Amino acid sequence: GAVVSQHPSRVICKSGTSVKIECRSLDFQATTMFWYRQFPKQSLMLMATSNEGSKATYEQGVEKDKFLINHASLTLSTLTVTSAHPEDSSFYICSAGADTEAFFGQGTRLTVV
């Protein structure tokens, strides 16, 4: 199957700083990528749809100014958590569409201290 690489796998940052997470499709081009968030012992919730060359589409309740998404190329989408706070600590995972299937990155564990 197709490979999606997400980096970093773990990051610890101080409250008030920003963190960038990268999601790359390694062997295919993805015009659309998706970002999910998972709190401990909960399911994955879709945050936003990242569209190559255009603005991301955010799900209800997700602050677009806090979670900046950039999809500048067909193989890379980035999620920047701006002015991070402890409540932003979570597992963030991306997926990229290939044909009719979604392929997931390994996820990023963000801890804000």
**Sites of contact with another protein (CB under 8 A):** 1, 6, 32, 34, 36, 42-46, 49, 60, 91, 93, 95-98, 100-107, 109
Q: Which is nearer to another protein, 54 or 60 (CB)?
A: 60
Least separation in angstroms between CB 21 and another protein: 13
Least separation in angstroms between CB 64 and another protein: 18
Q: Which is nearer to another protein, 16 or 39 (CB)?
A: 39
Q: Which is nearer to another protein, 17 or 106 (CB)?
A: 106
Which helix (H) or strand (E) covers residue 81, if one does? strand 76-81
Nearest residue to 19 (alpha-carbon basis) of 65, 82, 99, 113: 82
Least separation in angstroms between CB 71 and another protein: 15
Please give the Cα distance from 107 to 12 (Å, whole number).
Answer: 14
Q: Which is nearer to another protein, 58 or 91 (CB)?
A: 91
Residue with tokens 């979670």: 67
- CB of 75 within 8 A of CB of 30? yes
Q: Euclidean distance between the first and final Cα of the chain, in Å?
A: 37
